[in-house]
Structures are given as C-alpha cells and as structure tokens.
Amino acid sequence: AAKVARRGGSVGASGSACELPVTFDTAEFWKAKAVDADEASAAGGDLAGLADAFLRQGPVTMACEIDAKPAGKIGFLRVWTGEPGDADATAVLKGFVAAEQGASGAKYRTFEAGGLTGAEVEYVTTSKLLEETKKERALAVTTAAGPVVLHLGGMDTDEHEAMLPAYELARSTLRPTG
C-alpha cells in the first residue's frame, strides 16, 4: 500500500482553482493554479514558441499546475488535457512520454479509480546538461471531454520520491467531474 498525503483541498470541479474533466484531492499546503496555454502563447511575443513548447507535450496541453513549494518540496503535479477523440489512455500516455526529451525505461500498467480506468507509467528522464537522471510518473484517463494526464516530476529523484504521497492521493481520489 502506497503512502498517501493528507488532503488539503481538491481541483477539477466548477469553481475550483482548476476546472477539469476530472476531480481529485490535492495534498495539504499544495497550491493549484489554472494554466491557459492559449493565453500564454498569445501574450508571449518573441517567447510564444518557448511557451508553446513548455505548455504542450504530445497530444495534451497543460491546464493546471499544483505547486509543492508551500509544502516544502520542489516540484509540481501538472494536469494536461487534450481534445476529445478515439485515443485510449495508454496511447495518450505513450504520446506524452515520447514527447518528453530524454525519456527512457517506461513501464506501463493499467489502474482503476473512481469509476475510471486508465494507464500509468513510471520512467526516467536524463538531462544532458546536468548529466543526471531522475524518476518521473504519470497517469492518463480518457473522458467525454478528452484525455487527461496527471504528471509528477520534481527537481530530482529524491524530491520525486518525497512527493509520491501527493500523487497517490490524487490518483486514489480521481473521478469524473460531474
């Protein structure tokens, strides 16, 4: 049984910090903020291409960023959403990981939570600049409103491991918004 963080709030529902096709609990002290990728690209001027590259990964676009800094950690739980279509959760997740530079060693499995069936992956990324690897984890589900990817990164593997209870809380409370 994985360790689960203490609940601090939730995101996804109408009126929450991030309105999403799914709802889940967030860890105590973590701070959620909606991300409008189209607005960031339009406002970026010369930086629009950089904003676009940072806010879009494979078949999905960043929609919400849940910051761990208020809880004393360095990292984010990021929520990415995509357009409705026929892609299943595993295909979406494979596209997400394939678009991440330096990703390798992906191990996929299925999971169920809150009436949703999805795919989950653990993998590592290697930074050529820093010459180090770090663990990453993500999950994907498909909804009528489109696919949703929940990704946990972190500054390094130690931070990633320290933030896993927040990821497990989100994963275990994940359900369709409705």
What CATH number does residue 46 fall under? 3.40.1000.10
Run of H or E including 90: helix 89-98
pTM (two decimals): 0.92
Residue 150, domain member (yes or no): yes
Number of structural domains the chain divides into: 1
Residue 9 has pLDDT above 80, yes or no: yes
**Structural domain range at position 61:** 7-176
Q: Which residues share a beta bridge with 76?
A: 67
Query: For residue 12, is it left (φ>0), alpha (ψ between -120 and 50) or beta?
Result: left
Residue 93, domain member (yes or no): yes
Q: How far apart are CA 35 and CA 66, in angstroms?
A: 10
| pLDDT tens for each residue of 93-105 | 999 999 998 999 9
User: What confidence category does residue 52 fall into, taking pLDDT thresholds of 50, 70 and 90?
Assistant: low
Residue 115, domain member (yes or no): yes
Residue 13, domain member (yes or no): yes
Residue 63, domain member (yes or no): yes
